[in-house]
Amino acid sequence: AALAPHAGPLAGKHILVTAGPTHEPIDPVRYIANRSSGKQGFEIAGALAELGARVTLVAGPVALPTPLLVDRVDVETAREMAAAVDAALPADAAVMVAAVADWRPVDVARQKLKKGDVLPPLAVAENPDILAALARSAGRPRLVVGFAAETERVVEHATAKRARKGADWIVANDVSGDVMGGDANTIHLVTAHGVENWEKLPKADVARRLAQRIADAL
Ligand code: CTP
Ligand code: CA
């Protein structure tokens, strides 16, 4: 290739990115999931690679092409995502953008449930918190960045999440408008030093600004 891979301020760094939703099967054709296009996470993976990082992108089910020079691992469920994150370590930084389903059905029906069936109540179990586990693990990346999509009291929720999960930064995304699946985000970056309010930006610009901040921090 004519491109020179892995040159730039993040050369020699390995960065793990999670993106997209997870799907938690109910039966062979149905699942529980969060709404997520994966666009912001894929943009971040691409922006980090452009700054020279070796990037492992652990992706839930999304309809997006792999960014240039990014190593992609496709997963379906939260438990598969957790295992793929573990397998990708060690990393210098982790950026957890995935909208992981908080619950999974306890039993997966082997056959498709039919419309006329009398359904038992859906029993669910809580999924592992991939970010919280990584932030508290022995192999913790030096910089752990979480995301928080919030519809109200955005900075307050994000600040609490940062402490609860043991993340260094939380990128809080105000999703009270029509951002879901859209191409722009309004970000508040919550760190140990306080809160930065970013103007509404295209997702590609959010990704470039965040990648530059990560390069400065590493
Ligand atoms: N996250 C994760 N594993 C989970 C749930 C969340 O790694 N099982 C990560 C997300 O990728 C994101 C951050 O944690 O970086 C915040 O996710 P969010 O859903 O906002 O946090 P929750 O603790 O699940 O809180 P909420 O009740 O608001 O859903
Ligand atoms: Ca959640």
**Catalytic site positions:** 34
Judge if ipTM > 0.85.
yes
Point out the ligand nearest to the CA of residue 129: 1
> Which residue is closest in CA terms to ligand 1's atom 17?
148
The residue among 96, 68, 57, 81 whose CA lies nearest residue 6 is: 68
Rounded distance from Cα 129 to ligand 1 centre (Å) = 7
- Rounded Cα distance between 106 and 212, Å, is 41
How confident is the model at residue 30, as a pLDDT? 95
Q: pLDDT 10s per residue in the chain (218 long)? A: 445 567 899 999 999 999 999 999 999 999 999 999 999 999 999 999 999 999 999 999 999 999 999 999 999 999 999 999 999 999 999 999 999 999 999 999 899 989 888 887 899 999 999 999 999 999 999 999 999 999 899 999 999 999 999 999 999 998 887 656 678 889 999 999 999 999 999 999 999 999 999 999 99
Separation in Å, CA 197 to CA 59, 74, 164, 187, 205: 28, 33, 21, 6, 14
The backbone torsions φ and ψ at residue 183, rounded to the nearest 5 degrees and listed phi first, read: -115, 10
Sign of CA dihedral 76, 82, 87, 90: positive
How confident is the model at residue 5, as a pLDDT? 64
Ligand 1 test: best mutation among 44, 165, 171, most atoms within 8 Å of CB?
165
